[in-house]
């Protein structure tokens, strides 16, 4: 590529980034107008789900500051250290765990770690009844009965139980989790795997181990992970999604088999995670050709069908009936008063701004360079937005897309500006945490 061609390409990408920024600003401005017009768009602070509620726990604030500093300092250390891959993975997990816990004591202290599940009290008490603990009594008659009757009881369940396949409650039941603290610990322990899995995914996609490290650090520093990761169950879903993605785009057959199994298990956790299969097919198509993409798609369908069908044959589980019941619950929810014409922009804008504007800019550069990972994540987001699959709350619901986005962005984040990028990300997370009630 000549210098002139490179300059023209850079100008084109810059115009796209600026255009995306203007769309985001315009969407937020329209959302603010909607808030002044009595919440006409269906959330308190459209396009976001969070509401204005400044609060500071003095001791927690100091802990949060230390957590932010650790992300920047140790994040740079992880990227540059001469450590083996297993050590890098462990370091990413530990830093993700510590940073998430630190940021989420800034408002309400330790109670902030499990408040969303706490039926006994707190500012999130009204939301706790929509979470998973109220659904545990449906397992009192055993797993076979639970699976057999799941589709029938969906309409009577709490919103989050009704909105997902039976996997989340099965997991909690099998591990003996029955308290708010226990459920939060489960989510955080699983969700913190997102960063090391993103490291592996970024390495696989780029072929460069150091780029994988950058991807992992971007993931753990994203405000979506730091805030909505602790303790929304979607954080655990993101780890399942990242595991499936790592396997589905791997070069070696045994890891591809792992990816198929992981995708099948993920399909029992959240219907949205099936999008990871579509993402992998797109990546395979761009990277390995049409035949390989078709093979990946067929095998993904077979893997999901075998698990869902096996549960149907063995226990009477009805996945089709469950999906239909879930869709009806969604249609009867707040989604019915959220206008498509706003949320077709609002959903990706809210997700992108909370993912981190600098990460989004790098994703746009990746897509403009026509990388498989860049085009695939943009395609998935656009299809989800245009299809109206999720209107609002995408800061939480699309959390599973964060590893895919960070893996795509990593090669296009200037190494010399990594410290600035991390400072911007953690500063945004801390400001949002102190000024807004993010609910999850």
Q: Is the pLDDT of residue 328 over 80?
A: yes
Q: Specify the pLDDT at position 42.
A: 87
Q: Is the pLDDT of residue 125 over 70?
A: no
Average pLDDT over the chain reads 94
- What is the model's pLDDT at position 124? 52
Q: With pLDDT > 70 as the criterion, what percentage of the chain qualifies? A: 98
Q: What is the pLDDT of residues 215-261, one digit of tens each?
A: 999 999 999 999 988 889 999 999 999 999 999 999 999 999 999 99
Q: Measured between alpha carbons, how far is residue 303 from residues 135, 238, 259, 277, 292 in Å?
A: 28, 19, 10, 11, 16
**What is the pLDDT at residue 329?**
87
Q: What is the pTM of this model?
A: 0.96
440 compared with 166, residue with greater pLDDT: 166
The 10 Å Cβ neighbour count of residue 383 is 12
Q: What is the DSSP string of 329-360?
A: HHHTSGGGGS-HHHHHHHHHHHHHHHH-HHHH
Counting Cα atoms < 13 Å in the Cβ hemisphere of 68 gives 24
Q: How many CB atoms lie within 10 A of CB 139?
A: 17
Q: Specify whether the CB–CB gap between 235 and 225 falls below 8 A.
A: yes
φ, ψ of residue 316 to 5 degrees: the values are 85, 10
Token couple for 250? 């791997």
Average pLDDT on 53-74 reads 97
pLDDT at 222: 98
Q: What is the mean pLDDT of residues 317-329?
A: 94
Give 149-192 pLDDT, tens digit per residue: 999 999 999 999 999 999 999 999 999 999 999 999 999 999 99
Average pLDDT value for residue range 380-396: 94
pLDDT category at 37 given cuts 50, 70, 90 is low
Phi, psi of 437 (to 5 degrees): -90, 100
Whether 15 has a pLDDT exceeding 90, the answer reads yes
Comparing CA positions, the residue from 323, 317, 322, 277 lying closest to residue 301 is: 277
> What pLDDT is recorded for position 394?
95
**Exposure b/e, 50-85, CB count within 10 A at least 16 = b:** beeeeeebeebbebbeebbebbbebbeebbeeeeee
Model confidence at 36, pLDDT cuts 50, 70, 90, reads: confident
What is the average pLDDT across 324-353? 91
| pLDDT given at position 416 | 87
- Beta carbons of 183 and 176 less than 8 angstroms apart: no
Contact 202, 250 (CB under 8 A): no
């Amino acid at each position: 590529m000549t210098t002139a061609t490179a300059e023209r390409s850079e100008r084109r990408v810059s115009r796209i980034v600026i255009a995306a920024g203007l769309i985001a600003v315009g969407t937020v401005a329209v959302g603010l107008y909607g808030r002044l017009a009595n919440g006409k768009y269906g959330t308190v602070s459209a396009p976001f789900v969070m509401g204005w509620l400044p609060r500071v726990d003095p001791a927690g604030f100091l802990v949060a500051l230390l957590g932010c500093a650790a992300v920047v300092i140790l994040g740079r250390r992880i990227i540059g250290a001469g450590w083996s891959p297993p050590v890098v993975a462990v370091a990413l997990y530990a830093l993700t765990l510590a940073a998430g816990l630190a940021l989420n004591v800034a408002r309400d202290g330790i109670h902030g770690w499990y408040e969303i599940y706490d039926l006994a009290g707190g500012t999130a008490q009204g939301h706790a009844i929509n979470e998973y603990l109220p659904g545990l009594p449906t397992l009192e008659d055993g797993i076979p009965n639970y699976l057999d009757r799941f589709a029938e009881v969906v309409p009577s369940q709490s919103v989050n139980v009704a909105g997902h396949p039976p996997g989340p409650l099965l997991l909690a039941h099998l591990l003996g989790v029955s308290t708010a603290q226990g459920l939060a610990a489960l989510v955080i322990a699983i969700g913190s795997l997102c960063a090391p899995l993103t490291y592996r995914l970024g390495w696989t996609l780029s072929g460069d181990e150091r780029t994988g490290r950058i991807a992992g650090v971007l993931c753990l520093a994203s405000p979506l992970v730091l805030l909505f990761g602790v303790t929304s169950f979607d954080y655990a879903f993101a780890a399942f999604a990242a595991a499936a993605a790592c396997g589905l785009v791997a070069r070696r057959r045994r890891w591809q088999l792992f990816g198929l199994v992981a995708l099948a298990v993920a399909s029992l956790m959240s219907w949205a995670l099936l999008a990871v299969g579509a993402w992998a097919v797109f990546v395979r198509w761009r990277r390995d050709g049409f035949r390989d993409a078709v093979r990946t798609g067929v095998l993904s369908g077979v893997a999901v069908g075998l698990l869902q069908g096996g549960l149907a044959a063995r226990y009477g589980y009805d996945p089709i009936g469950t999906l239909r019941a879930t869709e009806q619950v969604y249609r009867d929810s707040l989604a019915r008063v959220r206008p498509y014409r706003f949320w077709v922009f609002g959903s990706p804008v809210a997700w992108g701004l909370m993912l981190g504007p600098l990460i989004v800019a790098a994703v746009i550069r990746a897509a403009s360079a026509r990388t498989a990972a860049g085009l695939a994540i943009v395609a998935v987001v656009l299809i989800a937005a245009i299809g109206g699959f999720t209107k609002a709350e995408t800061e939480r619901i699309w959390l599973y897309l964060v590893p895919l986005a960070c893996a795509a962005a990593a090669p296009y984040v200037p190494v010399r500006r990594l410290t600035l990028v991390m400072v911007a990300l953690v500063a945004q997370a801390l400001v949002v945490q102190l000024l807004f009630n993010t609910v999850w």
